Amino acid sequence: MTSTPPVLQELPDEHPPAPPPAAPPAAPDRPSGWAALQPVLLRLHFYAGVLVGPFLLVAATTGLLYAFTPQLEAVVHRHELTVDAVGTAPLPLAEQVAAARAEHPDGTVTQVQPAATPDGTTRVVLASDDVPAGRDLTVFVDPYTTEVRGALPTYAGFLPVRATIDDLHRNLLLGEPGRVYSELAASWLWVVVLGGVAMWVARSARRGRWRRLVVPERGRAGRRRTLSWHGVVGLVAALGLLALSATGLTWSARAGANVGELRAAWGWSTAYVDPTLPGADAGEHDAHAAHGGGGTDGAADAGADAVLTAGVGVDGVLATARAEGLREPVRLTPPAEAGQAWTAAESGEGWPSRADSVAVDGADGSVVDRVDFADQSVPAKLAHWGIQAHMGSLFGLANQLLLAALAVALITLVVLGYRMWWQRRPTRQTSGPGPWLRPGALRAAPRWQAALLLVAAAAVGWVVPLFGVPLLAFLAVDVLLAARARRRAAAG
């Protein structure tokens, strides 16, 4: 019988060697592409929505009111704007201006706007000390009887109702300091919209539910349903809101000045007629001076009553403007100083745009310069169309309804955004809104992507200061919250 040799087992050493030191844990890979960009956009969208949301809400509410100012003006100022009876033919424009001057002899004529409709009144704009600074006194004259229908303080042609609502929208009736609010809203609206659209599209693509881009989810409750409506409304209104943000920035005090300088440097500025008469010494004259309505001092020198009747007079200038094809309503501006011509310009409202202008020699009625809207640069045309659309005067009532719809959409987005924050609270028993997002999103992104974002933000922030300054505050808050979170994690 064969026996199997016993298996020899190795006995462990009495003193086994120490195990090799454990390798340090590998640093987690930094996300790249959209995975890195999404947390940054989410955090920026969240900060802007929570902190800038109130400014957007006020701008949207006042903008909704502004959209219907033409109808309000027509009702409130009906007596000044219309005549009691339409006559056979209007009297000479010089007689209408003389009637306005007789009623208000202390003012100086800076502009004349002949009646644009058969039942409309002629507007004679005066620089007067009887109105607040920055305002003109507009006298309304019946073109058939020269009856003065009334006089109202106006701002850039806006009657009191529209001027008040415009001030409410621009500066909350606080003057120049109040313009910070509207510029802040315009500076951040495009950021909120673009970030929200990017995240909403990416979410739908990730889930393969493209129909949900524009159709809110039904049968859902709570925060998910609110998010669905928030995303759909934001996507549908995105283009309009971006246009409002861009055109709003052109009127802002700080960003508007920077945009104007960039347009001038790139040759995109709007061209104006040169009112300098042939042979006159232009000196340091600014060719745009005759378009501002004039101050009291400039108009008092050359805009006196004698200019209105000298040469061909105001009626001859109007006849030349009509012969040149300018359409009503048209604005006639007397020379701002010696050696200059009259300027006649279309209102610029409506579609197709009517913004042609001519400079007319008051001595003989000849045209010394002309600028047609068709000859403006493409950026200048886009700026004109954008501003008119922002004011609701490009497409008439349809434009007003579109503005109202965008205002309601923005109000809805802000309200739904705050509702989502409230719904994110941990339990129903917890009072107060949901928590702030986890910090450190920018720190976790790839360095090249973070650097690119910071450079782009710095460039935009330089042109749009009320985007750049709050962004620095957001970054400081994010860094401080991230540092506090790291300290708490280390202590735990």
Query: What is the residue whose two structure tokens read 């104007």?
Result: 260
**For residue range 300-340, what is the model confidence (pLDDT) as tens digits?**
434 457 788 889 999 999 999 999 999 999 999 999 888 99
Q: Please check the confidence at residue 430 and state whether its pLDDT lies above 60.
A: no
Distance set, CA 448 to CA 312, 453, 457 (Å): 69, 9, 14
pLDDT of residue 421: 87
Residue with tokens 């609701």: 392
Dump pLDDT digits (tens) for 232-285. Answer: 999 999 999 999 999 999 888 889 899 889 888 888 899 999 999 997 764 444
Q: Which of 325, 412, 329, 414 is nearest to 372 (CA)?
A: 325
Residue 327 φ then ψ, to 5°: -110, 155
Model confidence at 291: pLDDT above 50: no
pTM above 0.75, yes or no: yes
Q: Contact at 8 Å (CB) between 314 and 308?
A: yes
**pLDDT score recorded for residue 200:** 92
Segment 2-47, tens digit of pLDDT: 444 444 344 444 445 555 555 455 445 556 567 777 887 888 888 8
pLDDT at 150 exceeding the cut of 60: yes
Q: Does 122 score more than 80 pLDDT?
A: yes
Is the pLDDT score of 118 beyond 70? Answer: yes
Residue 214 and residue 74 in contact, taking contact as beta carbons nearer than 8 Å: no
Which pLDDT belongs to residue 38?
81
DSSP state of 219: S
Mean pLDDT for the chain?
85
> Does residue 137 register a pLDDT over 70?
yes
- Distance between CA atoms of 372 and 36, rounded to whole angstroms? 50
* pLDDT score of 32: 57
What CA–CA distances, in Å, run from 43 to 6, 39, 191, 196? 70, 6, 12, 11
pLDDT in tens, 167-203: 999 999 999 899 999 999 999 999 999 999 999 998 8
Residue 190 pLDDT = 94
User: Residue 267's pLDDT is what?
Assistant: 85
- CA 317 – CA 305 distance, rounded (Å): 15
Query: What tokens appear for 153 in the block?
Result: 């303080």
CA distances to 49, 50, 61, 343, 490 from 417, in Å:
7, 8, 16, 50, 33
pLDDT confidence of residue 438: 65
Which pLDDT belongs to residue 283? 46
Domain ranges in the chain with CATH number 3.10.450: 86-161
Residue-wise DSSP of 103-116? H-TTSEEEEEE--S
Axis crossing angle, helix 179-207 with helix 238-251, rounded to the nearest 10: 160
Nearest Cα to Cα of residue 362 among 395, 402, 334, 328:
334
Condensed to tens digits (0 to 9), the pLDDT of residues 329-373 reads 999 999 988 899 999 999 989 898 999 999 999 999 999 999 999
pLDDT beyond 80 at 133: yes
pLDDT value of residue 91: 96
CATH architecture of residue range(s) 86-161: Roll (3.10)
Q: Answer yes or no: is pLDDT of 394 > 50.
A: yes
- Lateral strand order in the sheet of 108-113: 148-154, 136-141, 122-127, 108-113, 330-333, 342-346, 357-360, 367-371
Q: Do residues 76 and 164 make contact, with C-beta atoms less than 8 angstroms apart?
A: no
| Residue 401 near residue 232, CB atoms below 8 Å | no
**List of long-range contacts for 340-347, beta carbons under 8 Å, 24+ apart:** 340/275, 340/276, 340/277, 340/280, 340/285, 340/290, 340/302, 341/275, 341/276, 341/277, 341/368, 341/369, 342/275, 342/317, 343/273, 343/275, 343/290, 343/291, 344/317, 344/318, 344/320, 345/273, 345/291
More confident residue, 421 or 443: 421
Q: What is the mean pLDDT of residues 401-415?
A: 97
